Amino acid sequence: MKYTFSISSLAIAAGLVLASCSHDIKKPGSVYMPDMTYSNALESYAPSEIPNEDGILASARKPVSGTIPRGWIPQDEKVRSNSAYLLSYTAKNHFAVNPEKWQEEYDLAAASIQNPLESTEENKTAGKKLYTTHCINCHGEAGDGQGNLIVLADGSDGPYTAVPPAYKKRLSEIKDGNIFYSVSYGKGMMGGYGYSLNVTERWQVISYIKSLAGVGAVVADTSKAVVVAAK
C-alpha cells in the first residue's frame, strides 16, 4: 500500500510538471502564482494601452505642470518659515528654462531669489566639499577657471578649452539669485546641477565660491519671513 501511494504521488507530481510546460512561448502552460509571474504594475518605459502626452503608447509620463515632487520642500521649519529659503525650493516651478526666455528668467532670479543661509564656516566647509566634487575640474581649486579639464598638470591645454571666468572678476558683478539660477539650470557651456545638488547644497557651494572670490555674502532679511503650513 505504501509503495502504491508513492508511485501515485510521483505520477501526480510528474503530471503537474508536464501540465506547466509548453513549447509555445505565448502559452506557458499552467501558472500557479500568476500575481508573481505577471506583474500588474506598469514597468518603466514598457508598452501601454494608454497613450502618454506625446501620443505614444508607453508608460512614461511627464510630471504635471507646476507640481512639486514628494519631499521637494522639506518639513524642516527653517525652510517653511523663511521666505527666501522657501522661494529657493519653489523656484523650480517659476522658471520654464526656455532658451528664448533665458535672460528674462535670469533677471527675475536676480530680483526674487536671495541666499537664505548664514555665512558660517560650517556652510563654507560643506560648500568646499561639494565644490571639490562637482566644480573643481573646470573652475579650478582657486576658482580661477584653471581646472584640470582646462589646463593639464604639465601646463598644456586640457580636453575642454572653454575657460570659465575667474570668480574674482565675475561674482562681484552679479547677484546671488543669478548664481543660484546658473548653478541650478546652467549658463553658457556649463550644465545645470539642480539634479544632483539640493537647494541647501547649492547655496553652500555659492557661499564657498563667494569666499574664493573675496565677496561678502548677502543673506536674505528673515524679518519678513512667511509661515507655510505643513501639509
Convert the pLDDT of each residue in 10-19 to its tens digit. 777 666 666 6
How does residue 119 score in pLDDT terms, banded at 50, 70 and 90? confident
- Report yes or no: 113 and 180 within 8 Å, Cβ to Cβ: yes
Convert the pLDDT of each residue in 197-210 to its tens digit. 989 999 999 999 99
Return the amino acid letter for 75: Q
Predicted pLDDT of residue 227 = 33
Residue holding cell 504635471?
64
Output 212 or 2, whichever has higher pLDDT.
Answer: 212
Mean pLDDT of 204-221: 78
What are the E-state strand segments in the chain?
186-187, 190-191
Predicted pLDDT of residue 70 = 63
Dmax (CA) for the chain in angstroms is 97
The candidate with the shortest Cα–Cα distance to 44, out of 60, 62, 63, 61, is 60
Predicted model pTM: 0.62
- Report yes or no: 184 and 177 within 8 Å, Cβ to Cβ: no
How does residue 222 score in pLDDT terms, banded at 50, 70 and 90? very low
Convert the pLDDT of each residue in 51-78 to its tens digit. 766 666 666 666 666 666 666 778 888 8
Predicted pLDDT of residue 66 = 64
Predicted pLDDT of residue 223 = 43
Instruction: Determine what percent of the chain is predicted with pLDDT higher than 90.
Output: 14
Predicted pLDDT of residue 125 = 93
- Does CATH number 1.10.760.10 belong to domain 77-224? yes
